[in-house]
Structure 1
Amino acid sequence: MGNLKIGILTISDRASQGLYQDFSGQEIRRVVDNYTSDSCDFAYCIIPDEEELIYDKLVYLSDTEKCCLILTTGGTGPALRDVTPEATERACQKMLPGFGELMRKESLAHVPTAILSRQTAGIRNQTLIVNLPGKPSAIETCLKAVFPAIPYCIDLLEGPFMTCNPAEIRIFRPKK
C-alpha cells in the first residue's frame, strides 16, 4: 500500500515562535522510526496552543494529507492554554479513551503529576489521532504503552498495513 503517512503535530507557543527547539516532535519521530519496519513519510508541523489552529491542522493532516496516524505532543495539561484534547475531540467522530487511561497509568509510575494529564485519542475518518504529553522524556513511556494497539487500530480503519520491529516493540493483532 505504499509508505505509511504519519503526522507529527507539536503544539507549543514557544517552539512555534522559535524560542526553543522542538525536542518532543523529534522524540516522536525517533520512537516511531525505531518501532516501525516500514518506510514512513512524516508530515511535521509546529503550531501555537490555539484550539482553532489545532483543530484545523488535525483536519488537514487527516483529510488532505491522508495520514493514517497523527501523533500530537503538548497542550494536554491543566493550564489555561492547554486545549489539545478539546481540539482533538472536535476533530474526531469516535473517541478512544483507553489510550489516555493507559498513558496516565504508565506515567504515574514515573511522576505523581501524571494525573494532571488529559491525553486522549480518537478517530477522524480513517485516521487515528493520539495526544502525547509535551515532555520529551514522557513520549517514549507513553508510546511504548499504547503502540502495541496502533497497527491493529489502523487495520480496523482500513489503513495501510503497518509492520513493526519485534526487537523494539511487540504489537498485537488477533489471530485470523
Structure 2
Amino acid sequence: IQQNLIELADKEQCDLIVTTGGTGPAPRDVTPEATEAVCQKMLPGFGELMRQVSLKYVPTAILSRQSAGIRNKSLIVNLPGKPKSIRECLDAVFPAIPYCLDLIGASYLETNEEIIKAFRPKA
C-alpha cells in the first residue's frame, strides 16, 4: 500500500488520493499505518469527524481508524470499506477538502454545488 501511495503522490502527482477499506482493527487492516508512514503531516480531524458521523448509525464506529494526511502536495484520505459508510463519511469531510488542497499548494478544485458544497473561508 505504501508504495502505491508514494507512486500516486510523487510520480502521478495526484492532488487527492482516496482509499477505501483497511481501516478496522483486524490484522489485515493496515491502511492508516501505510498512510501515516508516507505522510509528512497527519490531519486527525478527518478521522475524528468520520467516526463521529458513523457513530450516528453504528456503535462499532469506534473501532474504525479512518485518517488523512499530506504527502507533498497530495491529500490522502482513508475512508471505510462499506459503500454506505463511504458515502456518509465522504459527505461529512468533503466540504473541507478543496480548501485543504488550496492550503497545501495543490490544484484548485471546483465542486458542483448542486451535489456538494466546498467551504472556503472568505478572503
Fold shared per TM-score above 0.5 = yes
**Residue pairs, 1:85-100, within 5 angstroms:** 85-100=32-47
- Taking the aligned partners of 1:96 and 1:67, their CA distance within structure 2 comes to 18
Large movers: runs of 4+ above 3 Å: none
Alignment of 1:171 onto 2:121: no
Partner of 1:153: 100
Alignment of 1:144 onto 2:70: no
Shift, 1:167, TM fit: 1.2
**Residue pairs, 1:101-112, within 5 angstroms:** 101-112=48-59
Pick from 76, 83, 92 the counterpart of residue 129 of structure 1: 76
Pick from 60, 69, 77 the counterpart of residue 7 of structure 2: 60
Q: Which runs of 5 or more structure 1 residues have no equivalent in the other structure?
A: 1-53
Q: Which runs of 5 or more structure 2 residues have no equivalent in the other structure?
A: none
- Could you state the TM-score of these two structures normalised by the residue count of structure 2? 0.98
Partner of 1:83: 30
Provide the alpha-carbon RMSD of the alignment.
0.6
Greater gyration radius: 1
Between Structure 1 and Structure 2, the one with more strand by share is 1
CA offsets, 1:87-112, max 9 Å, x none? 00001000000000000000111111
Alignment of 1:71 onto 2:18: yes
- Could you state the TM-score of these two structures normalised by the residue count of structure 1? 0.69
- Taking the aligned partners of 1:154 and 1:103, their CA distance within structure 2 comes to 19
